[in-house]
Amino acid sequence: MTRAQRSLVILTGVTVLSAGLLAQALAAPPGVGADVLVAVSLLLLLVSATLLVRVLRYLARAASAGANSGQRAQEADAAGREQ
């Protein structure tokens, strides 16, 4: 498992847990504690979701680059056979 894949798993877990924490904080009775919990969980959710999207974009770019390099190698091999 590569570093990016580990980050994907960890950030997915953190994002899900922070969304659950936010839902729990929104269901809590009003008060300063609930307000702080909402603010902290929302901040954690936004940061983890942003980083998760960045990791997903990196993995998608890496996968398409790998597919393109494999396709180029097949084309070069086919061109070499024609000559």
Instruction: Indicate the SS3 state at residue 28.
Output: coil
Structure confidence at residue 74 (pLDDT): 59
- The arithmetic mean of pLDDT across residues 63-79, rounded, is 67
* Phi and psi based region of residue 18 (left: phi greater than 0; alpha: psi -120 to 50; beta: remaining): alpha
CB atoms within 10 A of CB 10: 14
- Kindly write down the DSSP assignment for every residue of 38-74, as one continuous string: HHHHHHHHHHHHHHHHHHHHHHHHHHHHHHHHHHHHH
Q: What is the pLDDT of residues 2-47, one digit of tens each?
A: 899 999 999 999 999 999 999 999 999 999 999 999 999 999 999 9
Structure confidence at residue 10 (pLDDT): 95
Would you say the pTM of this structure is higher than 0.75? no
Structure confidence at residue 65 (pLDDT): 85
Structure confidence at residue 73 (pLDDT): 55
* Gap between the Cα atoms of 78 and 22, Å rounded: 56
